Chain A
Amino acid sequence: MTRAARNVVAILSVAVLTACKVQKSAANDTADTSGPQATSTAAIGTGGPSGARIAVAHAGPPGEWQMPAGDYASSRYSELSSITPQNAANLRVSWAFSTGVLRGHEGQPLVVGNTMYVVTPYPNVSYAIDLAQTGQPLKWKFRPENSQQAIGRACCDVVNRGAAYADGKIFYNLLDGHTIAIDAATGTQVWRTKMGDLSRGETITMAPIVVKGKVIVGSSGGEMGVRGWIAALDAATGKEVWRAYNIGPDKDVKVGPKFKTFYAHDRGKDLGATSWPGDTWKTGGGAVWGWLSYDPALNLIYHGTSNPGPWNENQRRGDNKWTAAILARDGDTGEMVWAFQVTPHDMWDYDAVNENILVDLPIKGQMRKALVHFDRNGFAYTIDRATGEVILAEPFVPMNWSTGVDLTTGRPSVVETKKTAQDKNVKDICPSLEGGKNQQPAAFSPQTGLFYVPTNNLCMDFQARAVTYIAGTPFIGGNAPEKGGPGGYRGEFIAWDATTGKKIWGIKEPYPVWGGALATAGGVVFYGTLDGWFKAVDARNGKVLWQFKVGSGVVGNPVTYTGPDGKQYVAIYAGIGGDMGLLIAGDVAANLPYDVRERGTTLPDIARWTSWGGELFVFSL
């Protein structure tokens, strides 16, 4: 496809032309050998032999990055292939940009045409950066009105996970509960809609997607006793089109005639309310602060829901539907089509909001329309995305709270001694409440058929206690000190085969890998670490090809794009924060003279390796 176009541009530079030749031969090598580690899933690449396939095409031209994960499938895969295992060692910084904001830079920039769009953590400033000019000057800068009160209502730092582009507009959420649309050309606000209520602890941190002219957004606040929702706004006007709660009666959660879920125990009237004692569902959490996916062929939006509130399970006996669940909703109306509760009656803070990656996978000789989900609870699920049937579920990190998932019911078998309980200190539960994986999104490469997954290896003691709901304050009722998991490492970047449920390789890291992954057709996978290393690794075998120490710990997600000069660039935010960087790594801040925290024990000496920052780094060959 654009490889030809890119080569034309590359003629301008002999060096680049040479690189492209190298890249072509590398791609051929990959196709021929499929890599020693790729097991049963043959490499296919674009136009290759039949095998694993990303369900939805990349949004826009391959050289752009128009939506949070690059496509509706949440694959974080790019067809750009100039950077290869052979030349990745030559990567260097092309330019950098300070966002002017500290704290956790989760999320990723967008690239549309020759413009890059950056959204910062609170106060959620956005920048349009002109890539076509030397020195990358701004086209515009937008500073939204954004209530300061939001800072103290956000549980886990004041992060923002990015924007979406559609129809000449940039859409993103403000921490104080607003969704806004900005004219991509001028930086002027087109509309602004209040979606969340700060006084009830509702903030918004997630990245929206745009589906059929509607902006899909969801609330944060699972630790604040919110009643979680997902909603659609008219992209042209900002008018709310529909809103579905994730807990409560069928009418509110949009369970109706379209609801045909796979497991029998998930069918029944008003389960979103009756699986809770009394009216505890009204403050039961189930927020939507993670990533969204969409399958246009099935017209289904997929999203996870957060933990039930409070953490103290004694106050909410029952399945607590539809918290800690993956929900499939109609792309036009938000009606629920299927639901799969990943962790029924969660008592470990295992939100199910992690990304749902939509791929077609060859499983046992049959192509399956799959959804692959690496859950906080430590299981990697391969699910039929049309029906919600769990095809397989295997642990992808060390875990001890469950012995496995019963595929006839989809429910995990819980180890009795790891059940948390009010006024008990239950020790050594793995994974910790940060999960085997948290918000850091995985990537998928159709070349190797593998998923590239940033993971945590932490365990916890869990002390639940009674808590009273007070609107606008945390509704938690528990304390869960964390420690490193078995093996002496706290995170691992792994390659995973979702057709068999097996880890293929892993790179152990001293700290949880809280940044996301990017897979590329060049056969190189990128990720950043909490202690500030940005790495390029060989997709086939996990060999680290190159690394660079950026200005702050990485909790963001790499993207790649083609610059106006035809070269492939890779961009990443540096800016430690989020739950891991703010709450767990207590001593990494330096700009708060009134808030000097003691070193945390969970991440020993992280402050020796990094401190708060807010920078965009862009690399190229």
Chain B
Amino acid sequence: MSRPRLLGLLAAILCVALAAALLRTSEAALDHQVVRGRLEQPVRVGTGEVVVDQVRVADRLSGDSSVAGRTPGLFVVVRVDAAAPGTEEFRLDEARLLTRGDRIYAPYQATFGLDAPPGFADRADLVFEVDPAGIAGLTLELWQSELVSGYQARVQVPLGITAANAGAWRDAGVRTAVEPDIYGRTRALT
């Protein structure tokens, strides 16, 4: 092989290696942007606004048969309000509860979905069944499912349960029943 051809081949191999390395290093650890919110405070995400509030704990769920039941652990019930104040509809249909460790809780109910048409807000309760020993630092994460996955924003709202008050939360859930509203209610924004 002539010298110029050898140099060209080496350059091509270097380019491929460089491209592969850049691709690898440019991959973000997360495939989404995290928008941090606070309990009872509206947080803007995409075309909508989210408010997370009314955190309740119980060891028994009453009301609708699809969620009614008991747990040896703890039910955490959270109210989520999704509003579409602009011209686009706003949808939130994926949720999970993050802990300080690796454990992640999926919703207890089979379905969850908030869908607010423009000028409306939709709200519903989310229920999680958790281990009472690890409730400090529980954080609710909400986002919108996508058919074609893109780089999306996810809302994370800490539920206000700290190591200092976790015991009080645990005690509050003993022999307590909560009736969650899992189907949601739509209201017009004023």
**Are A and B interaction partners?**
no
Chain B residues within 8 Å of A, Cβ to Cβ = none
Chain A residues within 8 Å of B, Cβ to Cβ = none
